[in-house]
Amino acid sequence: MSDPISTFFEAWKIEEAGDRLEKITSAVANNIQYDDPRTPETIKGVEALSDYVGMFSANAPGWSAKVVNNDTTGSITRATVAFSGMGPDGVEKVQLGQYFVEKEGDLISRMVGFVGTGEQQYTS
């Protein structure tokens, strides 16, 4: 079986709602809970999550999301995701996000995302 986190983010580039829902359903539990900086409340359920992901593909056509790094401690996986596509200036852009993921069996049950990777530049 493929990694459900990678499978979930593959759905971010799928514009057709039925295909996107099918891909997400294969990666997440029915009782999925999802939060990120753009969600004012926790998204609950597969269909609501698919609709939310659909807003990404509608607002950023041609962009994709790909897991570029992950590690697991205990039962929590930290995944760094690269969102990439052509910017309005015609130049390829990449934005990183970091997600903390809990699973039930082989499916994602809870996911919390953050903009960037949390790294800060320190000056002395």
Which pLDDT does position 59 carry in this prediction? 87
Ordered structural domains, the chain, with CATH: 4-115 (3.10.450.50)
Judged against a pLDDT cut of 70, whether residue 124 lies above it is answered with no
Question: Is pTM beyond 0.75 here?
Answer: yes
Q: What digits encode the pLDDT tens for the residues 106-122?
A: 999 999 999 988 877 66
Residue 27 and residue 109 in contact, taking contact as beta carbons nearer than 8 Å: no
* Percent share of the chain, pLDDT over 70: 94
Q: How far is CA 124 from CA 3, 92, 98, 121, in A?
A: 41, 33, 27, 10
What are the residues whose beta carbons fall under 8 Å from the beta carbon of 61, sequence distance 6 or more? Answer: 15
Judged against a pLDDT cut of 70, whether residue 1 lies above it is answered with no
Average pLDDT, the chain: 93
